[in-house]
Structure 1
């Protein structure tokens, strides 16, 4: 099989893994003459976006789509009738270097099906990163998928060469994983996450001491670890999914939990749903995740046993505000940062701009556009120097309909 055909198969096979956004690593640049590649913003084919909005281009492939495991939700499962291919280590290295030199990419996202054993697969993945770094002095971004229960020495070596490591938890509940992916062990996945966290913590402490030490602290995955959950392949509610995410963030200090809407696959098992969940559900989970991580919301404020699913027609912050109208309207010239973060339409940057601006002047309605705040969404919930919302308007039962995005009112999922 020629290299182009392998690339077609193995790039397509990798498309279901969403956890490849690159962010948070150290800045490196080849212009200092010490190597090839860069983690600084650049031009190329867009594959993902960093949290600050930068477009990141990655060569995203599997080393092989052959796999010993028969996970029912995976198109690359052992029993799946799909074309199989496998790159050699040198082929992945050559593709990465060639694509970088053509300005197509800024880095590599490499995963693999399980071949022979966890250790053998991890050895092959690490060998690609080692060759790029040591033989070709590649300084671009590298994200490696970690194989659960691979040898500890291999995990350490992976962190030496990779900017980010990830291991997918796959399902929000252990029972679902046991049913849909019987060869995978939820406890083994958690053990590996725990080992990664321990090594990341050790590297962080070593960097703190590095300022006074003569020997530079060993490098270990400076962009941290991430994971991914499949949404809609089982009956787990949004409350269950977000509870699992909250536990993962707290236990393993993950940089991100990615949510990937289940996509029906050929020759699917009867244990799987016949259709994909709405993509809007995936989007709402990301919004709720953001509220927990950056806006001070507890999971019980977003979903609970009475309302275990996020509404699809409005975002979770607006849904919370409509359930707690007694906390509004809020005087934005006096409210605390924590209170402002709960106003619909106020992002973290907008709140920082408001706090900065009100030191010098009272904020008026005309100032909202200059502060990049969506007026129509925010005005019902705030008091300004020249604006006060009527209590009747805030209490109106039609307020939710008025604030819904027009596309949602028309039936589109945007």
Structure 2
């Protein structure tokens, strides 16, 4: 641990593919690629971890193929760290014919309808073949606003699956993170975090994640729960908030001790014509940008802004359906996220995180 400022903390995560400064944001590369960008472009935004989606890579091209072609690092030519999710959320959400039992998920592929079985052991095996630096246990994520009894059962089953995941063989250098469930019930979250941290099967988990947020609950309620539980996770292990990632979410999560974030928002919003900036969202198709010669943000150092691409030009490209617009907006959004977490790290080291968060949020509301 390098520094604390309240519950906010700055540290370094060591992986087989290099050190990662924490807190960090991890762009989502669902199919083994961050959409529209080459690996070196993703790295230029400051990203040092990319997330791959186990379900999609399992369905196509298959983990055995990826393994034969050098693992996901060699296959995709990404030289830095990688994390893969367990695939359970997609197996559940993408199939109308999913069945949840104690063994795992039985589902039909969204691609061709073939039947699949995802168990805690299979999730570890598939992620082992994919070869990311960090893999996630299979968990049960209850829908937002589920009744307490449903959440309690999800927590209990996730713990049972955690033990099975830890007992499963995986590559020696590959870390395994456990997933804390409990919806917006702080007592369930805290108890589950303690339970997972205490597991010593296979040496225990290398990190702990908070899953089951941003699945339908009010954002303010999520933030309130984070404030009560995030700092309670074992301080000796990385803390990862899964699938949550507006700029405000990052600032709130870091304040309460979260180290790692991922979200499709910056890349998806870019493809929908939204630039995320220090002063809020900019909708590039709006008519007021039609003759604007300025960049998205004159203080931004991304390839789009530094390269002199005007708002007028980006608007023209976007309305014309040109892929360059999506590439430049994606580069900008990921660069903004990279600058946001870099600023947070610096503020934590200086003991000024509270003022950094306040100034950042005030600027976004303009």
TM-score, structure 1 as length reference:
0.41
Structure with the largest fraction of strand: 2
Answer 1 or 2: higher relative contact order, Cα 8 Å, separation at least 6: 2
Asked which structure has the greater CA Rg, the reply is 1
